Amino acid sequence: MARGVLPLLGMRALAPRRPLLLAALALSACSAPGSREAAPGEATRYLTGRAWRREVLEDALWRPDLPYSRSLLSAYALPEGGWDLLPVQSPLTAPFTRADAESLARGEALRMDDARAFGVPAEPETAPDATFAALGAEVFARLPMRADAWLDWLAGRPELWPEVGLSVNAAGTVRGLVRFADAEGRVRVGLTCAGCHAGDDVPGRGDRRLDLGRGRALYAAARGLDTDTLETWGPGRVDVTDTDSDDPTAIPDLFHVGRATHLNHSGVVQVSSRSTLAVRFETQFVQGHRMRSRPERRLMWALATFVSGLGEDSAVGPVPTVFTERCARCHDPARAFGGDLVPADALAVDPAVAQDPERGTGAYKVPTLRGVSGNAPYLHDGSQPDLPALLEAGHPRGDVLPAADRAELLRFLNTL
């Protein structure tokens, strides 16, 4: 099936569908199209329309030449075959508890007798947004988004959880971990969206303590494998690529996603509708389960509805002149102080992730500055420890502002 698609890609690679990078620096004052609102009938189109899903995918992957895009284009929403033929993952899940860890440690199989399905509305196409948003919150917390051998290993070793940043709540459950049956019917441990994106138990907040790189390294060391590159991710960072080089990126907050024009630090996915999010989560799930199963689409629509609604904005005080003059052309006050893509060489940052051979676009996305004071460390790679350091290093590129201006900016950033 991939064969029919690939020759086309070489040609498209020469002409990305939309010249976004060129537009990015000539930022306009108008606010971005939001993905927060679904178009009338969009749920039905996503849930029942393969051609619509394909259109959404092709629109999202504005750099079809990249390997990340190619692997999705060769497998998702094809006229026949591809990932549509995968078995749908069982929707039954249960929280992973300390007691489960103890049974794993004793070499027992995990139980599933307490597992629950999701409350999918009877007529999903016509269900109101609020119903989907509530279901999406549950999916965010309970659906296993990926499964890994090292996670199964780690789950049975609670003594290692503190150093990996896995936390146990008062009810004895581990945030972000669930039990589920995989495509082969094996009961194992899955990592949910909340595992990475619910720091301090706030859904949508990037977890800045979670150190999955450490977890992988401990697993590798226990198996006598080479751990040189594995330990370098650091807390709050994950390498989402399959390349050999180590490019960990900060786990982002999701509070601005409903208004984002692009997803991921390098903006490899262009967002034009809520369906874009649903398709991205669907493909993320399939890849997270090694192309062995696909998720129930109604759950993906619910997840997209929930994520688009995260982060209602509170009022902001007057924007200081120095911000308007030096920052607002990228950090647009009308877009939660975020924006489009900026070529990496316009910034004093490591360009490695922007140039990643798998999904680099040459650019970085302008992140929202809402809630920024609580988000240290900063930038796509978490390389700046705090806001004064970021401004002292010269941001966007090189030229450091006078101390009085920096102090005024810091005061303002702390109010966002």
Q: Which residues bind ligand HEC (CB under 6 A)?
A: 145-146, 191, 193, 195-197, 212, 238, 240, 249, 251-252, 254, 257, 260, 263-265, 281, 284, 303, 307, 326-327, 329-331, 342, 346-347, 349, 364, 366-367, 369, 372, 375, 378-380, 387, 390, 395-396, 409
Q: How many residues does the chain have?
A: 416
Least separation, in Å, of the C-beta of 3 and ligand HEC?
Answer: 28
Q: Which is nearer to ligand HEC, 101 or 250 (CB)?
A: 250
Q: Which is nearer to ligand HEC, 61 or 390 (CB)?
A: 390
One-letter amino acid identity for 39?
A: A
Q: How many CB atoms lie within 10 A of CB 119?
A: 10
Which residue bears the tokens 């005080």? 317
Q: Which is nearer to ligand HEC, 32 or 196 (CB)?
A: 196
Three-state SS annotation for the chain: CHHHHHHHHHHHHHCCCCCHHHHHHCCCCCCCCCCCCCCCCHHHHHHHCHHHHHHHHHHHCCCCCCHHHHHHHCCCCCCCCHHHHCCECCCCEEEEEHHHHHHHHCCCCCCCCCCECCCCCCCHHHCCHHHHHHHHHHHHHHCCCECCHHHHHHHCCHHHHHHHCCCECCCCEEEEEEEEECCCCCEEEEECHHHHHCHHHCCCCCCCCCCHHHHHHHHHHHCCCCCCCHHHCCCCEECCCCCCCCCCEECCCCCCHHHCCEECCCCCEECCCHHHHHHHHHHHHHHHCCCCCECCHHHHHHHHHHHHCCCCCCCCCCCCHHHHHHCCCCCEHHHCCECCEEEHHHCCCCCCCCCCCCCCCCEEECCCCCCHHHCCCECCCCCECCHHHHHHCCCCCCCCCCHHHHHHHHHHHCCC
Q: Please tell me the distance from the alpha carbon of residue 152 to that of residue 104, in angstroms, as a whole number.
A: 9
Least separation, in Å, of the C-beta of 232 and ligand HEC?
Answer: 15
Q: Which is nearer to ligand HEC, 51 or 94 (CB)?
A: 94
Q: Which is nearer to ligand HEC, 77 or 366 (CB)?
A: 366
Which residues lie closer than 8 Å to 364 by C-beta, 6 or more apart? 265, 266, 267, 341, 342, 344, 347, 349, 353, 354, 380
Q: Which is nearer to ligand HEC, 124 or 136 (CB)?
A: 136
Least separation, in Å, of the C-beta of 349 and ligand HEC?
Answer: 4
Q: Please tell me the distance from the alpha carbon of residue 157 to that of residue 151, in angstroms, as a whole number.
A: 10
Q: Which is nearer to ligand HEC, 135 or 366 (CB)?
A: 366
Least separation, in Å, of the C-beta of 357 and ligand HEC?
Answer: 13
Least separation, in Å, of the C-beta of 106 and ligand HEC?
Answer: 27
Q: Which is nearer to ligand HEC, 109 or 382 (CB)?
A: 382
Q: Which is nearer to ligand HEC, 78 or 322 (CB)?
A: 322
Q: Which is nearer to ligand HEC, 52 or 378 (CB)?
A: 378
Least separation, in Å, of the C-beta of 262 and ligand HEC?
Answer: 7
Least separation, in Å, of the C-beta of 113 and ligand HEC?
Answer: 26
Asked whether the beta carbons of 412 and 326 are under 8 A apart, the reply is: no
Q: Which is nearer to ligand HEC, 7 or 402 (CB)?
A: 402
Least separation, in Å, of the C-beta of 256 and ligand HEC?
Answer: 7
Least separation, in Å, of the C-beta of 153 and ligand HEC?
Answer: 16
Least separation, in Å, of the C-beta of 300 and ligand HEC?
Answer: 8
Q: Please tell me the distance from the alpha carbon of residue 130 to that of residue 306, in angstroms, as a whole number.
A: 9
Least separation, in Å, of the C-beta of 26 and ligand HEC?
Answer: 11
